[in-house]
Amino acid sequence: MLAVINDSEHVLSYSEIKGEIGKVCSRVTLYRVLERLEQEGVMYKIADVDGTFRFGSQSPKDNNTSYVHFSCVACRNVTKLKEDHVTFSSLSKHQVHFSQITMAGICPQFKKSTQT
């Protein structure tokens, strides 16, 4: 299961993970394993623009609590962007523990496929 998440170019929804692993485990077991992996810090969970939870890999040693993603409204893929830290000058006096930013639009792959 972790290999499916690690090998993906996108952060995956529960149903996408279930589709990849097939009938290896029950729905309840899959949810429990995903929750456990998140608690152990080997993956993280975000909500996409539709409210669907998606799962991405991270190193347990990674203390990054800021995630920036792009959600394609056409192909429905959600991609973790390379930018792993976003700052806002208006938050300079705040102690931020976690941030999740998801931008939405048309991804380059979908745009390119529609121009041919």
Q: Which two tokens stand for residue 86?
A: 């976003």
Number of Cβ within 10 Å of residue 80's Cβ equals 19
Distance CA 102, CA 51 (A): 11
Would you state the pLDDT for residue 68? 85
Give per-residue pLDDT as tens, 19-30. Answer: 999 888 899 999
Q: Is 31 exposed, middle or buried (0-12, 13-18, 19+ CB in 10 A)?
A: middle
Q: What is the pTM of this model?
A: 0.77
Domains of the chain: residue spans and CATH: 2-114 (1.10.10.10)
Give per-residue pLDDT as tens, 47-60. Answer: 888 889 999 988 76
Is residue 115 pLDDT above 80, yes or no? no
Q: How far is CA 101 from CA 4, 15, 23, in A?
A: 24, 22, 33
In percent, the amount of the chain with pLDDT more than 90 equals 39
Weakest mean pLDDT among 17-21, 40-44, 72-76, 95-99: 95-99
